[in-house]
Amino acid sequence: MIIDLKGKKALVTGASRGIGKMCAIALARAGADVTVGYHRKEQEAADTVRQVAECGQEATAFSADVADAAQVENLVQHHQEVHGRLDILVNNAGVAGEGLIGSLSDSDWDHVQSVNLRGAFVCTRSVLPLMMPQGTGKIINIASVVAMTSASGQAGYAASKGGLVAFTRAGAVELAAKGIQVNAILPGLISTDMSAKAQRRYRDRMLARIPAGRFGKAEEVAQMVVYLASSAADYITGQSIVIDGGLSVA
């Protein structure tokens, strides 16, 4: 299937590296112009912009903390000023968090929830004034397989991603009549900068749990984002699509 997103305008948060970066590039390869949302990694975001531009698409980068509503409003306003409309929002920005429940601090818990869950809510709320008058839009939330199957020390992260899955379902029901589809992707163990430390420490143990026998690639998640962003997925909404090499069913 050849997917053509020519003329579409996308905003990807957390797009300076990892899955978000590959989502921005994959969307551009399919023909979309992209706003690269990032927080602190300016040079990495600039590299994403460069790679999007090399695909022949218009690209711009803008820094915003997705947990801060005012900063998100500025991000969306910047996107509108540059691109005029918004067709695709990828809520990818997120942070990892580990800690046993008995020793997890309030601040550590709150930080993970504010970025991973509140951030997706704030970004979604902020783009609706652009999408709703169009009568069309694609919102794709990058959750995690830990929303379905977790491990010791992941209570905060799992709660945030589980909440994101529930938010996806609620948003799909609420926005379907407006022509907006809301879906979630649940990656498993994907080779990214965020997961590199854990994969180095527990490589053999982690691989033993994956029926496919390997870690996933950010590009594999990005291709599902492109599909969900296309008209081919217009009748798919409220779904949580797992990309984990069989981890969750083993």
pLDDT digits (tens, 9 = 90+) for 126-159: 999 999 999 999 999 999 999 998 778 889 999 9
Task: Tally the domains of the chain.
Answer: 1
Q: Which of 38, 157, 202, 227 is catalytic?
A: 157
User: Are 28 and 55 in contact, with CB atoms under 8 Å apart?
Assistant: yes
The reply to whether 250 falls in a domain is no
What's the domain range around 123?
A: 9-242
User: Are 83 and 130 in contact, with CB atoms under 8 Å apart?
Assistant: no
The reply to whether 224 falls in a domain is yes
| CB hemisphere CA count around 9 (13 angstroms) | 17
| Least confident range of 22-31, 36-45, 95-104, 168-177 | 95-104
Determine if the pTM surpasses 0.85: yes
The reply to whether 3 falls in a domain is no
**pLDDT (tens digit, 9 = 90+) per residue, 172-197?**
999 999 999 999 999 999 988 766 66
The reply to whether 219 falls in a domain is yes
The reply to whether 40 falls in a domain is yes
The reply to whether 1 falls in a domain is no
**Residue 202 appears among annotated catalytic residues:** no
The reply to whether 113 falls in a domain is yes
The reply to whether 4 falls in a domain is no
State mean pLDDT over 7-21: 98
- pLDDT, position 194: 65
Q: Which two tokens stand for residue 110?
A: 């709150």
User: Would you call 17 helix, strand, or coil by DSSP?
Assistant: coil
Report the CATH number that the domain containing residue 22 is assigned in CATH.
Answer: 3.40.50.720
- Burial (CB count <10 Å: 0-12, 13-18, 19+), residue 71: middle
